[in-house]
Chains A and B, each alone.
Chain A
Amino acid sequence: GPLDLSGAKAPANIAAAQATALATARVIADINTVQYPEGVQSPRPELNEGAKDGKFRYDRDFLLQFMSICKEKPAMLPPLEAIGLESADQAGHHHMSRTSSGR
């Protein structure tokens, strides 16, 4: 059958474009005027009655809609191995290579 690519990473060109878009995108000024494409739900309106200065609140169902779209690794993310932020398996692997580098 056809390959299931639903879990595959976004192609590199989309990822790069996403990083650029994120860097240049401006902040939404009035959340209540944003029109989302069909099938995308807006934040629950009662959360942002009288909201101003970009101080918006978002319900979980609204936030979850971004999960599968926003996958670009943050440009400012430090090397995770260097701060020990890695799973136990990865840590064992890196530890082997680190000891051989003389640290």
Chain B
Amino acid sequence: QEVDMEAQADGIRTVFNDPSNFNVKHPLFSPWTLWFDSPATKGRNMPQTPVSAFPQTPIPQTPGVQAAQGWMEDIKRVISFDSVEEFWGLYNNIIPPSQLPQKANYYLFKEGIIPAWEDEANKHGGKWSIQLPKDKNRGNVDKMWMYTMLAAIGETFDPSPTLGDGSAAASLITGVIVSTRPQFYRISIWTRLAPSGSDEDAALRERIEGVGRHFKTSVLGYPESARLAGPLATEVEFLSHKDSEKKGKAKKIIV
């Protein structure tokens, strides 16, 4: 059997061994879908192209998705991918956040989860986010967003994604978003769950805070002790989607 394994290993050619004739690719922990919207996409229908050249994955029609239909109307599905190699092919052929028009958003979500609160995977969750003044961060935002995507697809935001039943659903992360606005950028990490603040949720709270700390220090590159709030800038802060809906004062977690 050892001989078999060796023979098999010898037959493996990665993209590093042979960029034009590799025979294996690196699967991602989960397949992902990139979505996009900007003022220019509003009311615009997808172009008429042969179905074979441009297949659309139908969006699952769960009750949550139906409720989000107004919100989703102008958000265009760009593409899905499930390997490291395909991610970079996509990355190298689209523009980075610093070049996006104003009021545009990239949404990178796990396949089958739409970038809306109403989705079953999001409705009990929340988001870590940071707002960065545009003038000071034009030169940083592209790298920050790339690192955010890499932590998402590499599944390193949450140190224990396979606790529990070992399925992808055990991972806390559902998607990541970058938004461009006239005065600032915002990067967000959406989570499947949000701690309630009760004692029973202490373990979940700790896990959520771990995601926030990883985001702040490893992904965004700030010291853990750094205070970031200022004009047009926020701390790295967590808010449940339920509290976001309420507007007004809500309990935020800050790392």
Q: Point out residues on A near B: beta carbons under 8 Å.
A: 10, 13-14, 17-18, 21-22, 24-28, 31, 33-37, 40, 47, 50-51, 54-60, 62-67, 69-74, 76-80, 82-88, 91
In the complex the two chains form, what is the Cα distance from A86 to B101 in whole Å? 8
Contact A70 B15 (CB under 8 A): yes
Please report the C-alpha to C-alpha distance between residue A78 and residue B76 in the assembled complex, in whole angstroms: 10
Residue from the list A27, A66, A86 in contact with B15, Cβ < 8 A: A66
Q: Which residues of the partner chain A approach B55 to less than 8 Å between Cβ atoms?
A: 76
B147's nearest neighbour on chain A, judged by CB, is A60
Q: Which residues of B lie under 8 Å from residue A10 when comparing CB positions?
A: 19
Complex CA gap A13/B93 in Å reads 18
Bound Cα distance from A37 to B147, whole angstroms: 25
Other-chain residue from A57, A79, A88 in contact with B154 (beta carbon distance below 8 A): A57
Q: Complex Cα distance A69/B91, Å?
A: 12
Chain A neighbourhood of B91, CB < 8 A: 67
B27 within 8 A of A: yes
User: Within the complex, what minimum Cβ distance (angstroms) separates A95 from chain B?
Assistant: 9
Bound CA span A25–B80, Å? 17
Residues in B with CB closer than 8 Å to A54 are 27
Does B54 reach chain A (CB closer than 8 Å)? yes
Enumerate chain B residues within 8 angstroms of A58, measured Cβ to Cβ.
26, 84, 153-156
Whole-angstrom distance between the Cβ of A21 and the nearest chain B Cβ: 5
* A28:B27 contact, CB within 8 angstroms: yes
Whole-angstrom distance between the alpha carbons of A69 and B92 in the complex? Answer: 10
Contact B47 A79 (CB under 8 A): yes
A-B contact count (CB 8 A): 179
B86 and A74 contact, CB distance less than 8 A = yes
Query: Is B59 interfacial (CB 8 A cutoff)?
Result: no
Assess the B90–A74 pair: CB atoms within 8 A.
Answer: yes
Do A37 and B16 have beta carbons less than 8 Å apart?
A: yes
Say which residue of A17, A50, A67, A77 sits within 8 Å of B78 (CB atoms): A77
Chain A CB within 10 Å, residue with most, of B18, B81, B101: B101
Q: How far is the CA of A101 from the CA of B83 in the complex (A)?
A: 39
Given contacts A14-B19, A63-B84, A87-B100, contact A33 B95 (CB under 8 A): no
Name the B residues within 8 Å of A17 (CB-CB).
20-21
A101→B104 CA distance, assembly (Å): 26
Q: Look across to chain A and name the residue whose beta carbon is closest to the beta carbon of B219.
A: A60
Report chain A residues within 8 Å CB of B80: 76
> A87 touching B25 by the CB < 8 A rule?
no
Chain B: minimal CB distance from A99 (Å): 14
Contact B22 A73 (CB under 8 A): no
Bound complex: CA A36 to CA B26 (Å):
12
Q: Which of A56, A64, A76 contacts B26 (CB 8 A)?
A: A56
Contact residue among A36, A60, A69, A85 (Cβ-Cβ distance under 8 Å from B19): A69
B136 CB-CB contact with A under 8 Å? no
In angstroms, how far is the closest chain A Cβ from the Cβ of B240?
A: 26
Cβ B29 vs Cβ A82 within 8 A:
no
Complex contact B38–A85 (CB within 8 A):
yes
Could you tell me if A91 and B40 are in contact, using CB atoms closer than 8 angstroms?
yes
